[in-house]
């Protein structure tokens, strides 16, 4: 395909528009000053944005552009899921160097649309612009929720159970394998592929978030920065602390296999890895067992209890009989450090 500079702004918009399907909630999509969307009664609007910047969040040579589009959309949908909401429509802002091959953006749009469709999101519009050196995909996602059953970060109470959906750490070990091909080469192909895919193509927990919002969960967040860092967000917003039992951390067979082979600690990846896009949530103690069973049965995702909320405002982890107080453990997007 031509470069985007050769194609021009309006040529590129026409090309990318073909990847976007019409949806009933979009009264007027791409092609006017603003998109027009029908409102829904008795709801509140949820709004979030997140960007994927080249060489910060992804390397073009390491990820399939279709997966990159999926990932950029999925991380935004995950934020709406963590509020218990219904993801609804998205605006896509693409910034790219003038010499970018239009086929790259076209493939990213295939992934954007695939993920959007899977979770009922309509792409309502967007913007394309040049950027001197790097490709940036910046997405704003608008959702809807029932005003009376929002999953905020601020509702956790001492005694509540701390729970997560799915397993932790596979995305982080997937990123590790992506960046260390010699380590990846030591793994059975299927296991390495699964770990890298967990990093490239996360699954936002939309139905689980909606189920939790409707069934007494007291707080929730999606795990993007890392389990401990995100637990800290809940603890700060709720003015509480947490006690985690490391042996209850849900570790997938794949993570166990990979970390055993490489002599790494699976728990480090589970606690601090980040980008799992699982839901971390709290439940009243007495509801926990039944709720986790029903959540799994209804939403088709496992969920486990791994700790309790405490009055003491520290995050403590019991590991091998020892209790460790954890400071911030996770990714800081600006310093690029744990």
Report 156-215 residues binding a copy of itself (CB under 8 A): none
Positions in 103-132 near a copy of itself (CB under 8 A): 124-132
Q: Which stretch binds a copy of itself (CB under 8 A): 26-34, 185-193, 194-202, 303-311?
A: 26-34
Beta strand 241-245 with 315-319: parallel, antiparallel or unpaired? parallel
* Neighbouring C-beta atoms of residue 36, cutoff 10 Å: 12
Pattern 61-100, binding to a copy of itself, x per CB under 8 A?
A: ------------------xx-xx-x---x-x-x-x--x--
Binds a copy of itself (CB under 8 A): choice among 1, 5, 110, 262: 5
Q: How many CA atoms lie within 13 A of 232 on its CB side?
A: 19
Q: Which of the stretches 8-16, 163-171, 247-255, 258-266 binds a copy of itself when contact is defined by CB under 8 A?
A: 8-16
Task: Report, in Å, the least distance between residue 243 CB and a copy of itself.
Answer: 23
The 10 Å Cβ neighbour count of residue 207 is 15
Of 57 and 201, nearer to a copy of itself (C-beta) is 57
Among 10, 22, 148, 189, binds a copy of itself (CB under 8 A): 10
Q: Which of 223, 217, 236 is nearest to 315 (CA)?
A: 236
CB of 103 to a copy of itself, least distance (A): 15
51 binds a copy of itself (CB under 8 A): yes
Q: Please enumerate in sequence order all residues whose Cβ is within 8 A of that of 304, keeping only pairs 6 or more positions apart, or say none.
A: 163, 164, 248, 250, 292
Q: Which is nearer to a copy of itself, 41 or 321 (CB)?
A: 41
* Rounded Cα gap, residues 83 and 212, in angstroms: 9
Can you list the alpha helix ranges (DSSP code H) found in 100-188? 102-118, 170-179, 181-184
Q: How many residues bind a copy of itself (CB under 8 A)?
A: 77
DSSP assignment letter at 58: B
**Cα 171 from chain centre:** 11
Three-state DSSP class for residue 312: coil
Give the range of 148-156, 167-175, 250-258, 270-278 binding a copy of itself by CB under 8 A: 148-156
Q: Is 285 in the site for a copy of itself (CB under 8 A)?
A: no
């Amino acid at each position: 395909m031509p470069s985007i500079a050769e194609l021009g702004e309006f040529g590129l918009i026409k090309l990318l528009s073909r990847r976007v399907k019409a949806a009933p909630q979009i009264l007027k999509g791409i092609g006017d000053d603003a998109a027009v969307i029908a409102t829904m009664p008795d709801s509140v609007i949820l709004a979030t944005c997140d960007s994927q910047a080249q060489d910060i969040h992804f390397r073009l040579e390491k990820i399939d552009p279709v997966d990159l589009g999926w990932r950029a959309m999925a991380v935004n949908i995950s934020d709406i899921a963590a509020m218990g909401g219904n993801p609804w429509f998205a605006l896509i802002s693409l910034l790219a160097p003038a010499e970018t091959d239009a086929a790259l953006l076209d493939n990213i749009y295939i992934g954007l649309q695939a993920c959007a469709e899977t979770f009922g999101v309509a792409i309502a519009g967007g913007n394309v612009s040049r950027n001197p050196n790097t490709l940036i995909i910046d997405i704003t996602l608008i959702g809807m929720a029932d005003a009376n059953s929002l999953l905020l970060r601020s509702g956790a109470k001492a005694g509540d159970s701390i729970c997560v959906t799915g397993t932790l750490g596979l995305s982080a070990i997937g990123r590790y394998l992506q960046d260390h091909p010699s380590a990846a080469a030591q793994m059975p192909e299927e296991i390495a592929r699964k770990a890298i895919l967990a990093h490239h193509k996360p699954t936002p927990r939309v139905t689980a978030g909606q189920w939790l919002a409707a069934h007494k969960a007291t707080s929730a967040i999606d795990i993007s920065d890392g389990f401990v860092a995100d637990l800290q967000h809940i603890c700060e917003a709720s003015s509480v602390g947490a006690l985690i039992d490391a042996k209850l951390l849900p570790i997938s067979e794949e993570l166990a296999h990979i970390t055993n082979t490489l002599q790494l600690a699976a728990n480090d990846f589970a606690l601090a890895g980040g980008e799992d896009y699982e839901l971390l949530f709290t439940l009243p103690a007495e509801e926990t067992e039944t709720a986790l069973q029903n959540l799994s049965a209804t939403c088709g995702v496992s969920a486990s209890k791994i700790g309790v909320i405490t009055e003491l405002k520290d995050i403590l982890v019991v590991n091998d009989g020892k209790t460790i107080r954890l400071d911030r453990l996770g990714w800081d997007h600006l310093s690029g450090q744990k």
